[in-house]
Structure 1
Amino acid sequence: MNDLKITGIDVTLCETRVKGNFADSTRNVETIGFAVVDVSTDQGLHGIGVTYHEVGGEAIRDFIKYAIEPKMIGRSPFETEVLYEENFHYMRGVGRKGLAFCAYSAVDIALWDLKGKALGMPLFRLLGGTNPEVPIYASGGWTSYSTEELVAEAKMMVSKGYKKIKLKVGVEGGNNPDEDVRRVAAVREAIGPDIGFMLDANNVWRAATAIQFANKIREYNIEFFEEPVFADDIPGLAEFKRGTDIPLATGEHEYTRYGVRDLFLNHAVDILQCDATRVGGYTEMLRIMALSQAFNKAFAPHGMEHMHMHLVAAAPNGVYLEKLFMFDEVVKSVYLNAPEPVNGIMTIPEKPGLGLELNMDYIKECKGR
Structure 2
Amino acid sequence: MSTRTVVTEVETFPLEAHLPDGGYGASKVRLPVRVATLVKVTTSDGAVGWGESFGPPRLIAPFLADQAQALVGQPADIREDRILDRLSLGYHLTAGGPHVAAASGIDIALWDAQARAFGVPVAHLLGGRLHDRVDAYASSGYVTATRDPGEFRDTMASHAAEGFTAVKIKIGLTPDEDRQRTAAARAAMGEDGLVIVDYNANCTVATVRRSLARIRDLDPYWVEEPLPPEDSAGWRELRDVHLPLSGGEALYTRYGFRDPIAEHRFDIVQPDLAKCGGFTEAQAIRQLAAAFNLRLSPHCWGTGVAQAATLQLLSATPRAPFGMAGGEPLIFEFDRGDNPLREGVLATPLTPENGTVAIPDGPGIGVTVDEEWVRAHRLEDHSVLVRAR
Q: 1:285 aligns with which of 266, 282, 287?
A: 282
State the partner residue of 1:207: 205
The answer as to whether partners of 1:38 and 1:46 remain within 8 angstroms in 2 is yes
The answer as to whether partners of 2:175 and 2:214 remain within 8 angstroms in 1 is no
1:257 is the counterpart of 2:258 = no
1:337 is the counterpart of 2:348 = yes
State the partner residue of 1:272: 269
- Unaligned segments of structure 1, at least 5 residues: none
Compared CA separation, residues 264 and 349, structure 1 to 2 (3 A): closer
Deviation at 1:191, TM superposition (A): 3.0
State the partner residue of 2:134: 134
Using the size of structure 2 for normalisation, the TM-score is: 0.88
Compared CA separation, residues 269 and 2, structure 1 to 2 (3 A): farther
Deviation at 1:368, TM superposition (A): 6.2
The answer as to whether partners of 2:30 and 2:143 remain within 8 angstroms in 1 is no
State the partner residue of 1:114: 113
Partners of 2:137 and 2:261 lie apart in 1 by 24
Deviations 1:9-48 (A, max 9, x none): 1111111011244131110111112101001112221111
Compared CA separation, residues 95 and 74, structure 1 to 2 (3 A): farther
Structure 1 SS opposite 2:222: strand
State the partner residue of 2:99: 100
State the partner residue of 2:7: 6
Partners of 2:370 and 2:89 lie apart in 1 by 33
Partners of 1:368 and 1:235 lie apart in 2 by 42
Deviation at 1:2, TM superposition (A): 7.9
Q: Residues 176-325 of structure 1 correspond to what in structure 2 (within 5 A)?
A: 176-242=174-240, 244-303=241-300, 304-317=306-319, 319-325=330-336
Deviation at 1:6, TM superposition (A): 0.3
- The percent of aligned pairs where both chains have the same amino acid is 28
Partners of 1:108 and 1:141 lie apart in 2 by 31
Structure 1 SS opposite 2:135: strand
Partners of 1:267 and 1:220 lie apart in 2 by 25
1:63 is the counterpart of 2:63 = yes
Q: How many residues align?
A: 361
* CA-based RMSD: 1.8
Partners of 1:25 and 1:107 lie apart in 2 by 31
Partners of 2:165 and 2:124 lie apart in 1 by 26
Compared CA separation, residues 2 and 272, structure 1 to 2 (3 A): farther
Deviation at 1:90, TM superposition (A): 3.6
Tell me the amino acid that sits aligned with residue 250 of structure 1: G
1:25 is the counterpart of 2:38 = no
The answer as to whether partners of 1:134 and 1:346 remain within 8 angstroms in 2 is yes
Worse overlay, 263-272 or 317-326: 317-326
Structure 2 SS opposite 1:197: strand
Deviations 1:315-334 (A, max 9, x none): 12572110112264212111
- Unaligned segments of structure 2, at least 5 residues: 301-305, 320-328, 381-389
State the partner residue of 2:377: 366
The answer as to whether partners of 1:185 and 1:220 remain within 8 angstroms in 2 is yes
Tell me the amino acid that sits aligned with residue 255 of structure 2: Y
Structure 1 SS opposite 2:344: helix
Partners of 1:122 and 1:179 lie apart in 2 by 44
Partners of 1:190 and 1:309 lie apart in 2 by 26
The answer as to whether partners of 1:12 and 1:61 remain within 8 angstroms in 2 is no
Partners of 1:327 and 1:359 lie apart in 2 by 19
Partners of 2:290 and 2:378 lie apart in 1 by 41
Structure 2 SS opposite 1:222: coil
Runs of 4+ displaced beyond 3 Å: none
The answer as to whether partners of 2:16 and 2:378 remain within 8 angstroms in 1 is no
Structure 1 SS opposite 2:203: coil
The answer as to whether partners of 1:7 and 1:73 remain within 8 angstroms in 2 is yes
